[in-house]
Amino acid sequence: MELSVVTGDITAQAVNAIVVNLFEGVDAPGGGTGAVDTAIGGAISSLIADGEIKGRRGEVTVIHTIGDTYAGFAPDRVLVVGLGKSKNFDMDGVRSVSAIVARRLRTLNVESAATIVHGSGIGGLDPEVAAEALAEGAILGLYRFDKYRTSSKPKFDETKPATLVLVSNDSSKIPALEAGVARAQAFAGASISARDMVSEPANVLHPTKLAEIATGIASEGGMAIEVLEKADCEALEMGAYVGVSLGSHQPLKFIHMTYEGDAGNPDNNLWIIGKGITFDSGGISLKGGAGMGAMKGDMSGGAAAIASMQAIATLKPVLNVHMVCAATENMPGGGAQRPGDVVIAMGGKSIEVDNTDAEGRLTLADAIGFAKSNGAKRIVDIATLTGAMVVALGMGHSGAFSNDDELVDQMIAAGHTRGEPIWRMPLDPITKKQNRSDIADLKNTGGRGAGSITAAHFIGEFAGDTPWVHLDIAATNMGRSVHDWEPTGATGVPTRALIQLAMDLGS
């Protein structure tokens, strides 16, 4: 979909449909909605009076204006979208209604549409912020992954709407609106890249393919990238990571991408580390067969980390950002590591492998070790780490664990800005003891109780005193149904929150 911004009258746009809005409880529409109401003979006011239009959030009313019904009125349809109560309206509200409207335009087979900027008038939002949220919601809301469908056609034309024009009657606002749309395209484009990676089947997106995608993003963004092979990782003594890879025929790929936004100050850095298990069978500690196909998404953290660099290279924060994804499969081959094995992580810590299905934290241990050995000053790791996170928080929030109040607060704030909620979880000394091993420095599981917390404690052993946040996205990486701007399937969470964090730190 092509997005653009123009100065003009919303009623005069030569498009198939125009979109206006209404807050709940408004009896007499004003602004752009009022202008459209006048142009179509008070039809909106009549429907409000009849109770058909209530202004509830997400409510969409279609008014047909085809032919010569209203002299001089070009659009064939007017869509009135409800914004809900004005006191509760925010960027998420704009994203939500924009996504809902975009999908409705598609079901109506609309080729071209124009819209006023929701929330920028009576809604009280900054016009640039409102335009950004509108564009972001529309792009993300139209997302579908159906590249492998050949025998059945989708219900609606996936190419529509082809164009969406944001209209303002105030020419002084146009630069701000254009800036908001451009920023939205960077954020949403990165999130879609992450969704695409997670949605691919594991026979297509294996570690080698993931490295190829990362290399393409690095090349397009002018960033440095290195991809370490198994021998390189063994030379660096990454025994925890290499151990996970031993059961797979697919070679591991340790991906390190670098954006230099403050080259003269190398300590001004953020390391984004994503779990990159492109398929997780559980290894020798084999998972049950039901639902195992979803484990193609166990690289969602890695996808978010890689995709975030796409937007960071475009938006250019004054910050050095390093991305690491230690990619591999976790398979039960003849060479696979076994429960009871002991591996040595980079830096020398010994780990008893109590359960081979607790593999992600092993790969992250060496990824963090690599980051620290290369001067990491802030670390954020992202992983679909524990089913216990789903039990703890449900599907609404990613869990955050941290050794640094300032960094975790910044991460939570970034998630709030982008509509990717994050909730801080505790790291207490009692649960930390559950990772004790009788034969090694620690073991890779702490038992059933507090599973997300013990997993975070394990990773924290390798972060040490470096400011660090661990995001467990096992509850938020996949959606069960279309919700606002998130689709069924891969959500792309927390790609946009990571980008926002980098922008906040590098502003």
Structure tokens at 197: 């990676």
Give the total residue count for the chain.
507
Retrieve residue 19's tokens. 């979109």
Q: Would you state the structure tokens that stand for residue 458, as one six-digit string?
A: 């394990």
Question: Which region holds residue 400: left if phi is over 0, alpha if psi is between -120 and 50, else beta?
Answer: beta
Dihedral angle, C-alpha 142, 93, 397, 401, nearest 10 °: 110
- One DSSP character per residue, 374-389 reads TT-SSEEEEE---HHH
Alpha carbons 306 and 308: distance in angstroms, whole number:
6
Cβ pair 270, 466 in contact under 8 A: no
Rounded to an integer, what distance in angstroms lies between the CA atom of residue 472 and that of residue 204?
25
Which amino acid is present at 343? V
Contact 274, 326 (CB under 8 A): no
Catalytic residue among 144, 287, 316, 349: 287
Distance spanning both ends of the chain, measured CA to CA: 30
Q: In whole angstroms, what is the distance from residue 199 CA to residue 212 CA? A: 16
Q: Is 287 a catalytic residue?
A: yes
Active site (annotated) includes residue 338: no
In the chain, DSSP finds a helix count (H) and a strand count (E) of 15, 19
Tokens 């505790």 locate to 426
DSSP symbols for 220-238: HHT-EEEEE-HHHHHHTT-
Q: C-alpha angle with apex 321: 190 to 461, nearest 5 degrees? A: 105
| DSSP code for 288 | P
Distance (Å, rounded) from C-alpha 461 to C-alpha 348?
A: 12
Q: What's the one-letter identity of residue 340? A: G
CA distance 40 to 35: 9
What is the Cα–Cα distance from 155 to 312, expressed in whole angstroms? 35
Cβ atoms < 10 Å from Cβ of 340: 13
Distance CA 158, CA 54 (A): 30
273-283 CB burial, b ≥16 within 10 A, e <16: bbbbbbbbbbb
Residue that has been written with the tokens 């151990």 in this structure: 243
Angle at 192 between CA 191 and CA 194, to 5 degrees: 65
Q: In one letter, which amino acid is 424?
A: R
Q: Which of 195, 361, 372, 378 is flagged as catalytic?
A: 361
Assess whether the previous peptide bond of 339 is cis (omega < 30° from 0): no
Helices (H), 292-384: 300-315, 360-373
Give the catalytic positions in this structure. Answer: 287, 361
